[in-house]
Chains A and B, each alone.
Chain A
Amino acid sequence: MKHLSAKKPVLLLLGVLGLASAQSALAIEIQSLRGENDIKETTEVPEVKRYNKDGQPLPRNYVLQPPLIPHKIDGYQITIKHNKCLSCHSWKNYRRHHATKISQTHFQSRDGIVLANVSARRYFCLQCHVPQTNALPLVENTFEPVESVSAQ
């Protein structure tokens, strides 16, 4: 035990030094949200992003990807008493609304029990499914789906 505590200050010092140097290296790259602007200047307001209009289902890029939402969802409410999404996507309603029906995985509880309705872990749809805006990607992405699962 003794020899350990003797080493501690040295380790600590090294740690602090390491952090400090890492910080000075990062300081150049990291910007606050307001950018490089001086505190007295007003930053330029970025273009407002808009949600895409309703369209066809979007291609899926990999197996088990939660599909993206290809339509507007303004004003759709999900409360403990009613789920607007399910008024079109449930097995009872999907045909009438020409929507994709939720898959069986949505009925499974975390213990693997298949329930009669959407399980709590899948009830809040927007945790996994998101609509798209006209925003361009912030970083380049070179991902390409495997030919065999690509939905093109």
Chain B
Amino acid sequence: MAKRNIAIGTLLVGIVLGIILWGGFNWAMELTNTEQFCISCHEMRDNVYQEYKGRIHDLNRTGVRATCPDCHVPKEWIYKVKRKIQASNELFHKVMGSIDTREKFEAKRLELARHVWKAMKETDSRECRNCHEYGSMDYMAQGRRARREHQEGLEAGKTCIDCHKGIAHQLPDMAEEDPSAVLAVHPEDKGTE
């Protein structure tokens, strides 16, 4: 009898503890899923955040915002946990000071951006589609260029990030990505670089 009581007791304690820990885990996940948290690191605050300020997802006619986690952290629980584990890599680089100056950040920027583009391509820009959906777009209400390209893009199997790079931040040096959209180097200037 006593043995059974202890067993049930441990089970109950286990469940209660589980709920608390589980809750705490999810609570911690929520706490780290805010703009405030993201910009608590100067690496994020002094670079990407400054560029995001005033752009369409921060300031617009309707006052609806998209903050850092909206675009960078998945909504579905399992993907979210995966992203959080990946984020421990950011902690490592924080300690290492990989991007702790503007110069270092600019130097590493293309690599970081490529990670984000790759992730978005793999998920068909899932985070964008959490808010925007091709199917809910009223093409007739859109501008002439958007209407044409969205219809064509959808048919060609393209995803948001194929066309909307740089939607929230400045772009890195794009010479490799699109050599036709950068400043020409004057032949006489080449030697001085």
Give me the interface of A with B, judged by CB distance under 8 Å.
53-56, 71-72, 74-75, 77, 79-84, 86-87, 90-93, 97-98, 107, 109, 113, 115-120, 123
A117 and B178 form a contact (CB under 8 A): no
Contact B171 A79 (CB under 8 A): yes
Q: With A90-B181, A109-B186 as known contacts, state yes or no: A81 contacts B173, CB within 8 Å.
A: yes
Asked whether, in the complex, the Cβ of A86 is within 8 Å of the Cβ of B181, the reply is yes
Q: Given A71-B143, A77-B166 in contact, is the A97-B149 Cβ separation under 8 Å?
A: yes
The main secondary structure of chain B at its interface with chain A is loop
Residues of A within 8 A of B55 (CB): 75
Q: A74, B183: Cβ atoms under 8 Å?
A: no
A-contact bits for B171-193, CB 8 A (1 contact / 0 none): 11111001111111111000000
Q: Which of B136-170 contact A (CB under 8 A)?
A: 143-146, 148-149, 166-167, 170
The prevalent SS among residues of A at the interface is loop
Q: Which residues of B contact A119 (CB under 8 A)?
A: 184, 186
Shortest CB distance A38–B (Å): 35
Contact: A117 with B145, CB < 8 Å? Answer: no
- What residues make up the interface of B, taking CB atoms closer than 8 Å to A? 55-56, 143-146, 148-149, 166-167, 170-175, 178-187
Instruction: Given A72-B143, A97-B145, decide whether A113 and B187 contact each other with a Cβ distance below 8 A.
Output: yes
Q: Quick check: B146 and A81 within 8 Å, CB to CB?
A: no
Cα-based distance from A132 to B56 in the complex (angstroms): 20
In angstroms, Cα B146 to Cα A16, docked, is 61
Q: In the complex, which residues of chain B have a beta carbon less than 8 angstroms from the beta carbon of A123?
A: 183-184
- On whether the beta carbons of B186 and A117 are closer than 8 Å, the reply is no
Q: Which residues of B contact A82 (CB under 8 A)?
A: 166, 171-174, 178, 181-182
B144, B146, B178, B184: most-surrounded residue (chain A CB, <10 A): B184
Q: Is the pair B166, A54 in contact by a Cβ cutoff of 8 Å?
A: no
18 contacts between A and B (CB under 8 A): A54-B144, A54-B145, A56-B144, A71-B143, A71-B144, A72-B143, A75-B56, A82-B166, A82-B171, A82-B182, A86-B180, A87-B178, A90-B181, A92-B179, A115-B186, A116-B185, A117-B182, A123-B184
A115 to B185 CA separation, bound complex (whole angstroms): 8
Given contacts A87-B178, A116-B184, contact A79 B148 (CB under 8 A): no
- How many angstroms between the C-alpha atoms of A74 and B178 in the bound complex? 21
B171 near A77 with CB under 8 A, answer yes
Residue of B nearest to A74 (CB): B56
Q: How far is the CA of A90 from the CA of B180 in the complex (A)?
A: 6
Given A113-B187, A115-B184: A77 touches B178 (CB 8 Å cut-off): no
Nearest CB in chain B: distance from A67 CB, A: 16
User: Contacts of B166 on A, CB cut-off 8 Å?
Assistant: 77, 82, 84
Determine the chain B residues whose CB is within 8 A of the CB of A116 once the complex forms.
184-185
Apart from A71-B144, A98-B145: 15 A-B pairs, beta carbons within 8 A: A53-B143, A55-B144, A71-B145, A75-B167, A79-B170, A81-B171, A82-B166, A82-B171, A82-B181, A83-B181, A97-B145, A98-B148, A115-B186, A117-B182, A120-B183
Min CB–CB distance A84 → chain B (angstroms) = 7
